């Protein structure tokens, strides 16, 4: 409409409520859209986004803990560790231990029946010559011939002692791999940076690290107030029945059930993750079970074979096992969840998507499922969570023209901390039942006979405990107690001292769990505070394989840790 003045006329005014409706509607649409975008983006932000979870208190930290009453001893101890002369001495100690082969094999008969155990006498001879002050000062008891229990008596017998563990044995070196080693596996060769050889990392470094720390403390005239006990088994790689299994009985008889303030054994170490240094103390351990799966069928001449031999049936069963693994769920009760909470709080550069999933998972089942998918993409994390299976040994047949009457396999299980041996056996039996029915076999699962066929069976499928060393998952060690806090503070003090740092935020300590098992299984009755930790960089080098080695600096830091731990434990009133 054109006005009288020739300009553009105004439109007729609208009712006020009518004018507001489109704006209100548009505002509501915009708010809903923003909420939807926020919810969607929260789980799909780019992996490169930087993150730091400030002030969430998922993973409370101990302060750096340095000796106070024993400060003079600790100062002298740390100064000596920094000298070149002591470095050369420490290298010689570990290299000498590596040069004494202490391999153990699965077919070892018990002590007294198998002469191959005698190699541990040579190892003891080495220890007694390398550490004269330890052997002159500590009380030594040999258990089952080769187990070593050293007692460093403290002045105050009312204080619970501490127990430091390690093992003397190493895994065998595969003969065909000798030429692949950079330096011979039992040479103990030092190239100026690293000590090479089997056991340099697992676990002679731990054993020699403990002995070195004690030897040095004695040289510095330290006399403990709290008793310190050292226990070194000799068949940890065979599950520990001959070593730790017998040592535990002697230790309990002398010190009683729950007689130790805490014990510390080999475990995980420290590493850089998401831009920050993290040390992981193992507070739990998966269960262990080896199942022997055996198929027995009629033999005969190979020229008249049945449709399926015992080897063929066993193969079918093993394929069935791998096609139907254990169902794995990631739950908040799992120790790995506590580990992730620590990453979320203290990491400097955790991916935003992962950090948000961890944050949201505390109150959202949907986020927990999404976090589970993320965790299971990491094979190490996934193996920590569920019950695993590994088909490690298979055997069958004696001659190319004779039908195999028996064939068997050994399947190794590491059992989830939230499961049990019984649940593992039940699932194994349920899978075996399918194959027994398919091939008309009688199933005998862990002593329970089941006729799997209506017609007379064509053979027997047997599941049994392969070595009679089943282990339930370990009790979970509390993290809100004094022993965990003391070890945490000692880790921080050691890390700082070795690098000339100060403060409690240079390394963060978190609870977790390694994928392997230790022989602490036999020591559960000795303390409620079982801590599994090796103070070395987890990227230090390979173990159980070719070119095992340990850097001299890492070994010196390990000695520093054990010395600091002994001194801190000696003056703590809360253990």
Phi, psi of 151 (to 5 degrees): -120, 120
202 is in an annotated binding site: yes
Per-residue DSSP letters for 287-342? EEEEEEEEEEE---BTTS--SS-HHHHHHHHHHHHHHS-------TTSHHHHHHHH
Q: Could you tell me if 299 and 310 are in contact, meaning their C-beta atoms sit under 8 angstroms apart?
A: no
Compute the distance between CA of residue 29 and CA of residue 49 in angstroms, rounded to an integer. Answer: 29
- 169 flagged as catalytic: yes
Query: Which of 344, 355, 339, 275 has the alpha carbon at shortest distance from 511?
Result: 339
Q: What is the DSSP letter of 155?
A: S
Query: Which of 535, 570, 404, 561 has the alpha carbon at shortest distance from 81?
Result: 561
What is the length of the chain?
575
Q: Which residue has the tokens 């006990």?
A: 229
Pairing of strands 147-152, 139-143: antiparallel
Q: Could you tell me if 198 and 104 are in contact, meaning their C-beta atoms sit under 8 angstroms apart?
A: no
- 272 flagged as catalytic: no
167 is in an annotated binding site: yes
Compute the distance between CA of residue 230 and CA of residue 360 in angstroms, rounded to an integer. Answer: 44
Residue 292, both tokens: 């022997």
Q: Could you say which of 169, 203, 215, 428 is catalytic?
A: 169
SS3 56: coil
Torsion angle of the four alpha carbons 191, 120, 286, 431, in this order, in degrees rounded to the nearest 10 = 110
Q: Could you say which of 64, 215, 235, 236 is catalytic?
A: 236
571 is in an annotated binding site: no
Give how far the C-alpha of residue 378 lies from the chain's centroid of Cα atoms, to the nearest Å: 16
- 10 Å CB burial of residue 555 (0-12, 13-18, 19+) is buried
Q: Could you tell me if 243 and 234 are in contact, meaning their C-beta atoms sit under 8 angstroms apart?
A: yes
Residue 126, both tokens: 């080495």
Q: State the angle between helix axes of 84-98 and 204-219 in degrees (0 to 180), rounded to the nearest 10.
A: 140
3-state helix, strand, coil in the chain (%, to 5): 40, 20, 40
179 is in an annotated binding site: no
Residue 15, both tokens: 């009712």
Alpha carbon of 443 to those of 132, 394, 396, 431, 432: distances in Å?
59, 19, 19, 11, 8
Compute the distance between CA of residue 38 and CA of residue 34 in angstroms, rounded to an integer. Answer: 6
544 is in an annotated binding site: yes
Please give the span between the terminal C-alpha atoms of the chain, in angstroms, as a whole number.
92
Which parts are annotated binding residues?
Answer: 167, 202, 237, 265, 544
What residues act catalytically? 169, 236
Which parts are annotated binding residues for Zn(2+)?
Answer: 167, 202, 237, 265, 544
């Amino acid at each position: 409409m054109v006005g009288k003045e020739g300009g553009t006329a105004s439109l007729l005014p609208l009712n006020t409520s009518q004018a507001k409706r489109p704006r209100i509607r548009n505002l509501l649409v915009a708010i809903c859209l923003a909420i939807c975008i926020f919810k969607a983006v929260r789980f799909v932000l780019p992996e490169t986004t930087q993150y730091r979870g400030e002030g969430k208190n998922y993973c409370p930290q101990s302060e750096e803990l340095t000796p106070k009453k024993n400060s003079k001893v600790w100062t002298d101890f740390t100064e000596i560790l920094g000298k070149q002369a002591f470095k050369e001495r420490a290298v010689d100690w570990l290299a000498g231990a590596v040069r004494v082969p202490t391999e153990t094999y699965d077919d070892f008969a018990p002590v007294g029946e198998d002469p191959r155990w005698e190699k541990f006498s040579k190892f003891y001879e080495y220890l007694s010559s390398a550490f004269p002050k330890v052997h002159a000062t500590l009380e030594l008891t040999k258990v089952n011939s080769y187990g070593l229990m050293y007692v460093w008596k403290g002045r105050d017998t009312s204080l619970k002692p501490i127990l430091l563990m390690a093992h003397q044995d190493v895994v065998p070196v595969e003969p065909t791999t000798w030429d692949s080693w950079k330096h011979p596996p039992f040479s103990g060769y030092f190239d100026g940076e690293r000590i090479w050889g089997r056991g340099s990392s697992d676990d002679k470094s731990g054993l020699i690290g403990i002995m070195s720390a004690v030897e040095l403390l004695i040289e510095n005239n330290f006399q403990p107030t709290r008793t310190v006990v050292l226990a070194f088994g000799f068949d940890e790689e065979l599950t520990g029945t001959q070593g730790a299994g017998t040592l535990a009985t002697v230790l309990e008889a002398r010190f009683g059930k729950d007689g130790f303030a805490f014990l510390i054994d080999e475990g995980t170490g420290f590493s850089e993750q998401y831009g920050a240094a993290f040390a992981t103390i193992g507070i739990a351990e998966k269960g262990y079970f080896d199942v022997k799966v055996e198929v027995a069928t009629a033999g005969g001449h190979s020229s008249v074979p049945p449709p399926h031999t015992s080897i063929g049936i066993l193969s079918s069963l093993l394929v069935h096992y791998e096609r139907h693994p254990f169902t794995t769920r990631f739950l908040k009760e799992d120790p790995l969840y506590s580990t992730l909470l620590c990453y979320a709080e203290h990491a400097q550069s955790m991916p935003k998507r992962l950090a948000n999933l961890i944050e949201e998972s505390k109150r959202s089942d949907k986020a927990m499922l999404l976090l589970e998918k993320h965790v299971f993409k990491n094979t190490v994390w996934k193996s920590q969570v569920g019950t695993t299976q590994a088909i490690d040994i298979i055997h069958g047949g004696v001659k190319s023209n004779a039908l195999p009457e028996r064939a068997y396999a050994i399947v190794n299980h590491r059992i989830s901390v939230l499961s049990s041996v019984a649940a593992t056996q039940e699932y194994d039996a349920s899978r075996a039942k399918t194959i027994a029915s398919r091939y008309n076999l009688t199933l005998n699962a862990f002593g329970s006979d089941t006729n799997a066929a209506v017609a007379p069976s064509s053979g027997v499928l047997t599941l049994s405990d392969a070595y009679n060393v089943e282990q339930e998952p370990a009790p979970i060690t509390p993290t809100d107690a004094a022993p965990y806090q003391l070890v945490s503070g000692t880790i921080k003090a050691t890390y700082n001292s070795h690098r000339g740092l100060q403060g409690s935020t240079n390394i963060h300590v978190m609870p977790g769990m390694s994928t392997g098992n230790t022989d602490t299984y036999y020591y559960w009755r000795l303390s409620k505070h079982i801590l599994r930790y090796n103070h070395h960089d987890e990227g230090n080098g390979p173990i159980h394989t070719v070119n095992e080695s340990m850097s001299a600096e890492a070994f010196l830091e390990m000695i520093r840790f054990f010395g600091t731990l002994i001194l801190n434990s000696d003056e703590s009133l809360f253990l």
